[in-house]
Chain A
Amino acid sequence: MSGLGASFGSGAMTNSIEDLAKAKAFFVIGSNTTEQHPVIGAVVKRAVRRGAKLIVADPREIELARIATLHLAQRPGSDIALLNGLCHVIIREDLHDKKFVADRTEGFDEMKAVVGTYTPARVQEITGVPAADIEKAARLYALSKPAAILYCMGITQHAGGHATVMAIANLAMLCGNIGVEGGGVNPLRGQNNVQGACDMGGLPDVFPGYRKVADPEARASVEKAWGAALSDKPGLTVVEMMNAAHEGKIKAMYIMGENPLVTDPNLHHVEEALKKLDFLVVQDIFFTETAALADVVLPGAAFAEKDGTFSNTERRVQLVRKAVEPPGDAKPDWQIIAELAKRLNGDKASWEYASPAAIMAEAAKITPQYAGISHARLEKGGIQWPCPSQDHPGTKILHVGRFSRGLGKFSAVETIPPAEPSDSDYPLTLTTGRRLQHYHSGSMTHRVAGLNTLLPEERMEINPCDASPLGLKEGDMAVISSRRGQVKARVQLTKRIKPGVVFMTFHFPETAVNLLTIASLDPVAKIPEYKATAVNVARVE
């Protein structure tokens, strides 16, 4: 999100799901859309059937790759080179939108100078994608307007994730695909309410509405609203928290609805860090791997047991309605937080909320994008932010006529190799992802019998070219090792995956792939590099 924020001024999906149907071309990079966002995947498939062009850039032959006009199977961690290569060809062949570039952007010349060095031949060298395909993809994207870019964690979960997003923004601006129906840069948000958790200030550097905690003006307005002095020092991100806990600088944590002991990178390190804490409170609906390390476990409520709102990937704030009671003594999480907050200071009045609608009313006052949003309005249907006033209908497309930051900013970005390239000890590159049938650490989906029937266990995908010298056959057990740990998994031989690359998901705690992954962080976005880990694979006798 930080990459788009730098380029456009707002780090959210620029267009709407409905809008995607109007695209003449799609460029899908780092998103296995049909498995991770299945309903959007179907929108793309339908558009392709109607004649839209589809370019897929993914090291795996994902489902969309099979119906793509062109599939570019780049090496993990080479996305910036690929994107720069596309910009190179578009500028060289004079296919860019010169009016858009002149009127709406800045930094073109600096970007042009850098992408000028990314000739198709050089990009082929870095990415493994044939130069002719790079040229073909550039022409397809530039000549089919409007064209929508879809991306996901395949882009951001790299050491150079932030820069890669800026490279995506470059490509879209170069062809004038911003602020138009059927175009845009569309990061697909993974969790049901990851957009909302960010919007509401669940981040270490911003208040609700992305106003910086370090900005005196923003801080003053929140201080006034809450009647309390606030810290101006940006906090730690999740991986930094684990490191600080490991070093003894963080002594207590309160974790709600997260299971870092499965989902975070380098799990041995996370486990040590959480065990070093003096005190840990975990609030969840199940006794998760993380809860087992807690001093106090608080039973929360699932989505069907409470009122509230989720904000989806297209910035649409929608109601979540209580349908059943929480089990036993479990309580809605908003009540638990408020009860705990009352015990943390004397100011009980500011934590008395009659309902989630009252909480939203307070949040909307300090969140400019949500200023016009209330539960009463949402009863009539979801609203896409920014929605600055009660009579504002919401915003389907961002950056129409003007970018949030004024002019769109081209960024000169150079290729950034993975932090841990493969070598003779760890000759394969592990890239991790998700599958259709399960969700994250599986605490919900493993408790649905039918989903376990459809996908009972983890399978590591490996190309037959890599499997055969290791003596691995379909269904064999393999041990996969990295510099940080090892796991065992059954193997699935498939040509869907490039030689040199293996694929696993993090859905199965018993096959905890994050024991292997590296906690190297993008320097700006602080996202760990899940998509490229050097590993060694051996057959289990």
Chain B
Amino acid sequence: MTILAINGKKIEAAGGTILDVARANGIHIPTLCHHAALAPQGACRLCLVEVKGMRVLQPACTYPISEGMDVQTDSPKVRTARKFVLELLLSDHPKDCMTCETCGHCELQDLIYEYGVKETPFVGDRHLFPPDERDPFILRDMEKCIRCRRCIRACDEIQAVNALTMMNRGFRAKVATAFDTRMQDSNCIFCGQCVSVCPTGALTEKDSHGKGRDWQTTKVATTCPYCGVGCNFDLNVRDGKVVKVTSAWNAPANKGALCVKGRFGWQFLHHPDRLTTPLMKTSFWKEIKGTEGAPSPYKGFVETDWDTALDAAAGRLSAVRSADGPDALAILTSAKCTNEENYLMQKLARKEIGTNNIDHCARL
């Protein structure tokens, strides 16, 4: 064990960086380029701390602890340095928080608030990039980029795709695809890991724009409906509608990572094509009711209510069973439905109908 002091408090730790140890002990050190799922970068200088005996401030995110170390995380010197960094960042950032999609869960906004940076003393040129709306799913507003490289690192370290890189140098530096193309013309696979780690409004979920800020949505942890990996994510819900999917970083199978379908493929939920009422084939309706029935949007089908539909279905299934035996019936259950529903479906087949003719698309 290593013994060190942070803000005068004696701490024992097995190892790690100053940031790791501070956070494990409930000591707040602000960061911007740091992300728990990514390797430390040491780029943003927000986590600067005083280490006794060192001439200059040190980045807590990359600085390993050592025996007898004496660290100050919130001294006037540290706060001044951090405020200076924030003033520089603000000098090249649009002040449009009122309309920004990320307002309310923007890490830059939170720090500007924490450090009370009302105006920046630095005036001069500012990046003026028009928002890039050419791609599906991901909206890139590079005026809001603070060049922390989290997106580039997520694309590299989590996804191993490397669609994003830093182009140009110095003031002209910008996160882009190779040759600054649309993302769909690069090797991007639209997993959206870049969006999930962006600390500002530079990368956002295009389809979620205007549908609700972070504090207006509730998050419901659930499991993805697409492939068998079993990724967990949070459905962001506002006014009874899903408006966004966000990463669940503690998820056992996917650890925050998602693919294009899991992260962006939720719109089918509220598609106008969803079935909203039981339907019966018009000829079947006429046969049992003797009337025309209520028209439906589907040719050859009428709308009906649950009791009518279920009574008719049960009646006909029972009739076939009586006439031709239980094995004249067959059931396809579903690999898209829940365990509980599959359990009930086979119980229905075996117990109520009396057949083992039950299968699903496992083989397809």
Contacts and interface: CB of A to CB of B under 8 A. Distances in A.
Contacts of B314: 340, 343-344
B330 A302 contact: no
Contact of A234 (B158, B266, B356): B356
B338 A334 contact: yes
A192 B317 CA distance: 29
Contacts of A258: 332-334, 336, 360-361
A323 B222 contact: yes
A256 B337 contact: yes
Nearest to A332: B341
Contact of B281 (A202, A207, A230, A295): A295
Contacts, number: 476
B214 to A, nearest CB: 16
B329 A340 contact: no
Interface in A39-71: 39-40, 42, 45-46, 49
The listed residue with most A CB atoms (<10 A of its CB), out of B235, B271, B338, is B338
B228 A190 contact: yes
Interface in A219-256: 222, 226, 228, 230-231, 233-239, 241, 244-245, 249-256
7 A-B pairs with the lowest CB-CB distances in the bound complex, closest first: A312-B230, A328-B276, A308-B338, A257-B334, A450-B136, A235-B356, A343-B314
28 contacts: A42-B158, A42-B159, A192-B336, A194-B360, A197-B335, A197-B342, A202-B334, A213-B350, A233-B327, A252-B330, A256-B333, A281-B317, A296-B309, A303-B336, A305-B269, A308-B340, A320-B338, A324-B237, A324-B240, A333-B337, A334-B344, A336-B310, A344-B353, A359-B340, A360-B339, A382-B252, A450-B264, A525-B363
Interface string A195-225: 1111111111101100001000000001000
A258 B330 CA distance: 13
B221 interface: yes
A interface, by DSSP: helix, strand, loop or mixed?
Answer: mixed
Given A189-B228, A311-B339, A204 B265 contact: no
Interface stretch (B51-59, B69-77, B97-105, B318-326): B318-326
Given A37-B229, A309-B340, A323 B261 contact: no
A507 to B, nearest CB: 12
B interface, by DSSP: helix, strand, loop or mixed?
Answer: mixed
- Give the contact-size bracket for chain A: 35 or more
Interface in A1-30: 1, 17-18
A129 B228 CA distance: 31
B179 interface: no
A338 interface: yes
A2 to B, nearest CB: 10
A128 interface: no
B359 A299 contact: no
B80 interface: no
A297 interface: yes
A138 B350 CA distance: 47
A296 B312 contact: yes
A313 B260 contact: no
Interface stretch (A72-80, A86-94, A114-122, A286-294): A286-294
B357 A241 contact: yes
Contacts of B310: 298, 336, 339-340, 343
Contacts of A188: 228-229
B216 to A, nearest CB: 15
A444 B226 CA distance: 9
Contact of A299 (B227, B278, B364): B278
Contacts of B277: 299, 328-330
A238 B359 contact: yes
